[in-house]
Amino acid sequence: MLRSLILATALALAGCTDSSAPKPSFHATDITGAEYGSTFALTDHHGTPRTLADFRGKVVTMFFGYTQCPDVCPTTLSTMSEVMRLLGPDAERVQVLFVTVDPERDTQALLANYVPQFDARFIGLYGDAAQTQAVAKDFRIFYQKSGDTEGANYTVDHVAGTYIFDPTGRLRLYVRHGESAENIAADIRALLAAK
């Protein structure tokens, strides 16, 4: 009898927890709890030093690429431009960051000319070779020169996904290249709505 009463009490208490509260369902890969990438320190295309803390209160998307990329980078930036359009007024609560993995060629002036062409609110970030390597390592980003590596006409092989931080600065999502603007916008709305 006592055993039945204890079991009934335990089941009743289990029912009192808020396990039924809906958790956000994302289109992107949920990487909540990943502890990397939050301490980057780079310079933006205006020459201002930047860290993740500068964007607290906004959803931050971060993509690694380079300005001479023939396909993946402009496609990703174009998709993010469409995401901002789809978000409407909520786009003001989102910051898109483009981090160059080609610090030798992607100067501040070149980033300032390239990145805002997709959306004036987008920010290009750069560092010297050591800073770039440190940030890439922190985010587990692979990149390397290929082709004419002794000259200036090389290409850079690099990971093509996008990281998304929530407004509190927690890394939450990894978006694979090729995801639709509609799905990314839906995921960002979910992060903006989360309490």
Any binding-site annotation on 16?
Answer: no
Confidence of residue 195 (pLDDT cuts 50, 70, 90): low
Percentage of the chain beyond pLDDT 90 is: 69
The pLDDT value recorded for residue 7 is 36
Any binding-site annotation on 73?
Answer: yes
pLDDT higher than 70, residue 4: no
Task: Locate all alpha helices (DSSP H) within the chain, ordered by sequence.
Answer: 2-16, 72-87, 108-114, 129-138, 181-193
The pLDDT value recorded for residue 36 is 79
Whether 8 is in a domain gets the answer no
Sign of the dihedral through C-alpha 155, 153, 138, 171: negative
Q: By residue range, what is the domain housing residue 32?
A: 22-193
Domain count, the chain: 1
Whether 12 is in a domain gets the answer no
Confidence of residue 145 (pLDDT cuts 50, 70, 90): confident
Whether 81 is in a domain gets the answer yes
95: domain CATH number is: 3.40.30.10
pTM for this model (two decimals): 0.85
More confident residue, 4 or 56: 56
- Helix, strand, coil percent content, the chain, rounded in steps of 5: 40, 25, 40
More confident residue, 33 or 92: 92
**CB neighbour list of residue 86: distance below 8 Å, 6 or more residues apart:** 181, 182, 185
Model pLDDT for residues 42-75, shown as the tens digit of each residue:
999 999 999 999 999 999 999 999 999 989 999 9
Any binding-site annotation on 69?
Answer: yes
Model pLDDT for residues 84-137, shown as the tens digit of each residue:
999 999 999 999 999 999 999 999 999 999 999 999 999 999 999 999 999 999
The pLDDT value recorded for residue 25 is 85
